[in-house]
Structure 1
């Protein structure tokens, strides 16, 4: 299963691990586009539908960031334990992750139902119509059940990712996408549920995806067994997951934090058409992020297992080849994206202003996603080697640059939406040299450390 992990060519192994991640995230993206398309088709002449439901995506992605932080923590810890050949300790990963997921997920969902209108008003600006806010609230209530399944998928997905079983997640996301594709037109149009039908379709599809992952683990196909025994819960593992995962959460929240800030600025200072274009382009921007997520996930698994095996020189070589690989890939995709942008956006709206703004945003920002990709990949090496905080600092520097420049361009220079687009492009470009030079210096000084030494509670338990 791990042949080629510790010796031989690096890129083929990265591709082998990353391809199922790419497929899974691509299908997840297809799901977003499907939802966006069907919601838009309820009334192609209205901006209220996409503007209102678009309010929920930053909130949805922030919760996904919480789930992803658990997955990153679990995948890194799993990879390092496998690298150290500590398979007995791996048995504590499942129940520890599930308990964390429930503690984080249940309160978040309760907040959605108890304070739904307040959340919508907080996310919306004064320029958004009551109709758009109503659509946003309907979408929130129907989408909330999906959140608990999302976080549980990420928990077990993180363990599978750390083990290298990335194809299981690809299959789970395939199942989710196919079900959503079938259920969306039925629930939105045939049953007349509208926006509520879109949210319920997502909830049902995610439930079945989670059940598939659980079924796979129950069959014993993973080296790490599924167990719900509380006796396996281990605080040491939880602390390590949090130590690695919390910085990932802060990193991801910083990315979507930009969206939240700009959502507020756009809905307050610009037209509903501007918010429509911002929401629509945000969906398509995921095309450029998908390969980054795949390579970053594969690199984290690869580097964490090699770190557990004390293969430090191999990790240093991986940094150089993976950054060149992802930068080139993002540049090619960006060129295709810009070329196809007018046609793509016109499929989702018949409003000329929305199409024009969307095309302009794609043209200004998309070619700088390769710079952001290198920043993201650099963060994988900090995480895999047990020092995740520098990646957080780098991304927050990027956030500060983007927001500071954006506010100056909008309010100081009166550049309108162009100010937002240009600020994001500059922030992406400036973050690359900071991240790459920092991680190069880190890898020159890093030394191998084991997650569990001979005095650890788990080690003592196993000897007893």
Structure 2
């Protein structure tokens, strides 16, 4: 067992440790989000704005498999971190190998079903004659890479849990870098357009998985992957992983459901040109992911520290980590808000093939409204991660549901009905983020008071 990683989590200054673990995660997440932007940018330049809408219809399927990988990865990382803190090496091994096996099974089943029902799914999502061809060309290929993408996410979370955040960062950088290099080759060089973007993405996902598997098997890893006995799965560990990770699955799979709701509302209220408005949402969605993912990098750096020190009963280190991460997240989202307010016109100009005024002007208007939610949504990000790190799945689920179900779904139908316009969609995004941020802030204050009252003696 690598004692250096354990010493870092147990003794290193928490502020420096948070930065040490977060920066690689932030860099990896930012680059990962960047390649999604570049992917859409190349597609827009080669096939036009409507092609971005076609890519958007693949989003719900991608998000569900993404949600499976995150659920298992974050759940296993939480189990692994707490076991690491109390030096339960058998549990650490069970968490790693059980996570990998159930991820392969679940991601493969879902991908296979998506292949069978791909046409029906695209019609259900709201694809129309103007963009369904783009959607089919992209999704039919991208499905091939969903299993390696999901496995990479599981191993990335586990690698961070053992404090090897640079390995996780390099995996994301290698995958994203390969995608950025391959995109123009397949899209423009081979003239494959949307299909070329999908092929480049799939190849890059296999490259990223190969790297993280190789590093997870080396002598410096605490993951102890067992390549034999593939049918040996610890049922109790499955339960712990799913219970802790389910709020993450719920949040991301709900994101897929909400995307479908939005597509259908756009088709209802933009009768004349729904394709261009779906493309606008596609750009907003990808840029939001670019803004949000670095914040997830911060909490991914925080989670192993909080989980380890909760397991070790070192409450002061755990509390200091939570407070410091919260300050960083809040400041970060203020800058994100400013970024969108000033640069939204530039963003939509970049994604427009022929400087379409409707695409640029309406896209700018919609994105500026959405970005107001950034001012408080940071509390939702941090509190959900804290509860997962502590192994409190019900509380994490409440935070998740507050933003996407309790607030967004009622608001989006109410506001579009009252305004009789798509503007209700953008106002609903901002309002849901603000309200969920307020709820999260209240729960954070309550939790910090409860933590202050804890009087555990640290285990050494």
Return the TM-score normalized by structure 1: 0.90
- Matched residue SS, 1:224: coil
Which deviates further from its counterpart, 236-245 or 366-375? 366-375
Which deviates further from its counterpart, 68-77 or 83-92? 83-92
1:298 aligns with 2:273: no
Cα distance in 2, alignment partners of residues 30 and 407 from structure 1: 32
Deviation of residue 388 (structure 1)?
A: 1.5
Cα distance in 1, alignment partners of residues 136 and 13 from structure 2: 50
Distance 1:282 1:111, change over 3 A: same
2:41 to 37, 40, 49: 37
2:103 to 90, 94, 101: 101
Residue correspondence of structure 1 range 315-354 to structure 2 within 5 A: 315-349=318-352, 350-354=355-359
What whole-Å deviation, never above 9, does each CA across 1:101-148 have from its counterpart, x for those lacking one? 1220111111121111001001115xx3x1410110111111001101
- Matched residue SS, 1:243: helix
- Matched residue SS, 2:226: coil
Query: Contact 1:288 / 1:369 at 8 angstroms: preserved in 2?
Result: no
Which deviates further from its counterpart, 395-404 or 374-383? 395-404
Cα distance in 2, alignment partners of residues 336 and 96 from structure 1: 42
Query: Contact 1:21 / 1:167 at 8 angstroms: preserved in 2?
Result: yes
Query: Contact 1:95 / 1:229 at 8 angstroms: preserved in 2?
Result: no
Aligned twin of 1:53: 55
Query: Contact 1:106 / 1:148 at 8 angstroms: preserved in 2?
Result: yes
Gapped regions of structure 1 (runs ≥ 5) = 450-464
- Matched residue SS, 2:166: helix
Which deviates further from its counterpart, 209-218 or 9-18? 9-18
Residue correspondence of structure 1 range 8-27 to structure 2 within 5 A: 9-27=13-31
- Matched residue SS, 1:244: helix
Aligned twin of 1:437: 442
Cα distance in 1, alignment partners of residues 266 and 253 from structure 2: 19
Deviation of residue 2 (structure 1)?
A: 4.5
Which deviates further from its counterpart, 356-365 or 301-310? 356-365
Deviation of residue 316 (structure 1)?
A: 2.8
Residue correspondence of structure 1 range 175-324 to structure 2 within 5 A: 175-230=174-229, 233-270=233-270, 271=273, 272-324=275-327
Cα distance in 2, alignment partners of residues 164 and 274 from structure 1: 43
1:170 aligns with 2:180: no
Residue correspondence of structure 1 range 55-94 to structure 2 within 5 A: 55-94=57-96
Distance 1:338 1:3, change over 3 A: farther
Deviation of residue 344 (structure 1)?
A: 2.1
Query: Contact 2:348 / 2:360 at 8 angstroms: preserved in 1?
Result: yes
Query: Contact 1:335 / 1:367 at 8 angstroms: preserved in 2?
Result: no
Aligned twin of 1:452: none
What whole-Å deviation, never above 9, does each CA across 1:410-440 have from its counterpart, x for those lacking one? 11222x2321111111111111221222243
Residue correspondence of structure 1 range 398-409 to structure 2 within 5 A: 398-399=403-404, 400-409=406-415
Cα distance in 2, alignment partners of residues 245 and 423 from structure 1: 27
What whole-Å deviation, never above 9, does each CA across 1:17-65 have from its counterpart, x for those lacking one? 1111111111111110121011112233xx4311111111132122201
What whole-Å deviation, never above 9, does each CA across 1:140-161 have from its counterpart, x for those lacking one? 1110011010111122222112
What whole-Å deviation, never above 9, does each CA across 1:307-332 have from its counterpart, x for those lacking one? 11011233233333221220111101
Cα distance in 1, alignment partners of residues 289 and 124 from structure 2: 25
Distance 1:23 1:158, change over 3 A: same
Cα distance in 1, alignment partners of residues 440 and 94 from structure 2: 34
Q: What number of residue pairs does the alignment pair up?
A: 443
